[in-house]
Structure 1
């Protein structure tokens, strides 16, 4: 890591300092002779002991953003900062960083080697980092992940475990390095409904007991409601709404957030989005959501006098601030008139 210290660090909803931050982040890939803007200007901050949910449809860029925050992808421009210091991509610096920021994948069967015992799987990280007292570290990590007594699981193989137990082994592998931040990519998507609640409760307990921070990547706003302190809604490479989870999910201002919420069982009205998210090599002008926007299609944007702006005037990139905010011409006019 460099010694460059971030200035004017954003704060979390309760005034604490930022731990992990994306600052004006852009990530592009070559695609069919064009440049795909997978992450197209993102500011995002996670504070100590805070859980932030990153929500959006498949293809919106949230997994690319998560991989970039882990140092697995290099940004085209902008920066990743940890503890106020810009991430360095030298191998030694990345190795030290990944001890602090650990990944938890959605598919435990895919991330666990079927030929490795549970002990070997959890011990892999400590061995890479040359940590002493390996057996004690593995036992402690398994116990903290809810696999007790840990010695009972040492010699088991992944196929001998339930889905929930396998996910706990994956979490234990992350905990073995005593990280400060977990980045969990759809951590319960592959689990039965009966087990999902147990894993979410485990993540909350780790936050309370160890002070862990987490960025939870999900398409499920119901999961965000149950686990997160703050939520960031992503569409076509950019955060379009963010803020405290209760405020955003009880009074969503962006039409995209409203549509995502409408699929929940308790939603009074279903919003059906037409089409798929646009090609990230051809991001539309104006509001990037306007081609699928139910507010524009219904005529409400025209009644508010913003339909032309929706189609032609780009919206500013949202800053990483704790207050609720939305990148939407219609929402901005509605708030000004309220």
Structure 2
């Protein structure tokens, strides 16, 4: 993390959320009568207009399922999603209108683009699905230009295999921008790109936020990416957000042992990396007490015992965090020992 974090362009702590989740749970039935899998297990999260929020955590922690639930692609088992103050309506017509305002950008541009479609057809597809009544060619050219593909007409008849990885990702972003959304959900938007191209795509997302007032939820396992692009960060572990707050606050003074462990393996992190024991638990077998306690270096190292919270770590589940921008942590030890 070598550069300073971004400054929110339009988001205000007092502004009403554009998108919010409250008590969100997504449970998948187990096979052959097995215990259901609690992929998202009680999440509150707010995203305000013009704000970029990074959702970070290990693979399998529930990040993508949460993102899909926010997009209406996965109906919640319980809880609610609200957009612009209204509960999400899961009827086909309402979801179609909603997805014009909230667009998804996937991590693999090669898999997102039909190899038999030209760039023009790929970007125009959303316009045709939603019955756009304006000048299609002008809209496609404008979206490609905003995504950094200029002059746009030069790309109209090209196919995905004729483009570089960075150019393909820009086409995917243009396909989202062509509908003038208010929010984009970017799932690992630079994971498949070369290091030299990642910075260009991140700079593009920041510029779009500044110029268009776009909000964004960026799903990533990369804390360095979160530092460089986000206003706020939410750290997810085993279906639940365990720490959230201003990106500089969370990533320079992490309070949750899991966040501390994630940060410790970055190349520029001081001290020795924290090696967590075992793999993340199965979401169908969430431990009692704090869900992180079987892998927690604070508990295994005796610090929780000295703070008098070891029993609580093993037996009492921390409260679900609120969705606001206030710094929060779901950890008995951190709430006892580490000042907010």
Q: Please give the TM-score of this superposition, normalised by the length of structure 1.
A: 0.95
For 1:35 and 1:168, how far apart are their aligned partners in 2? 38
Query: 2:213 aligned with 1:211, yes or no?
Result: yes
Query: 2:81 aligned with 1:49, yes or no?
Result: no
After the TM superposition, which residues 30-45 of structure 1 pair with which residues of structure 2 at under 5 Å, given as runs?
30-32=29-31, 33-45=34-46
TM superposition shift of 1:243: 0.2
TM superposition shift of 1:13: 5.7
Query: 2:27 aligned with 1:28, yes or no?
Result: yes
For 2:331 and 2:173, how far apart are their aligned partners in 1? 37
Could you tell me whether the CA contact under 8 Å between 1:28 and 1:36 is conserved in 2?
yes
Q: Which residue of 2 aligns with 1:152?
A: 154
For 1:191 and 1:273, how far apart are their aligned partners in 2? 28
Q: Which residue of 2 aligns with 1:236?
A: 238
2:317 equivalent among 305, 314, 317: 314
Structure 1 unmatched runs, 5+: 1-11
Q: Which residue of 2 aligns with 1:9?
A: none
Could you tell me whether the CA contact under 8 Å between 2:255 and 2:338 is conserved in 1?
no
For 2:119 and 2:23, how far apart are their aligned partners in 1? 40
Deviations 1:310-329 (A, max 9, x none): 00011110011211110000
Q: What's the C-alpha RMSD, in Å, of the aligned pairs?
A: 1.0
Q: Which residue of 2 aligns with 1:184?
A: 186
Q: Please give the TM-score of this superposition, normalised by the length of structure 2.
A: 0.95
For 1:335 and 1:114, how far apart are their aligned partners in 2? 52
After the TM superposition, which residues 1-338 of structure 1 pair with which residues of structure 2 at under 5 Å, given as runs?
14-32=13-31, 33-131=34-132, 132-269=134-271, 270-335=273-338
TM superposition shift of 1:263: 1.2
Deviations 1:165-222 (A, max 9, x none): 0000000000010000000000000000000000000000000000000000000000
For 2:140 and 2:168, how far apart are their aligned partners in 1? 15
**Alignment size in residue pairs:** 326
Q: Which residue of 2 aligns with 1:8?
A: none
Could you tell me whether the CA contact under 8 Å between 2:120 and 2:156 is conserved in 1?
yes
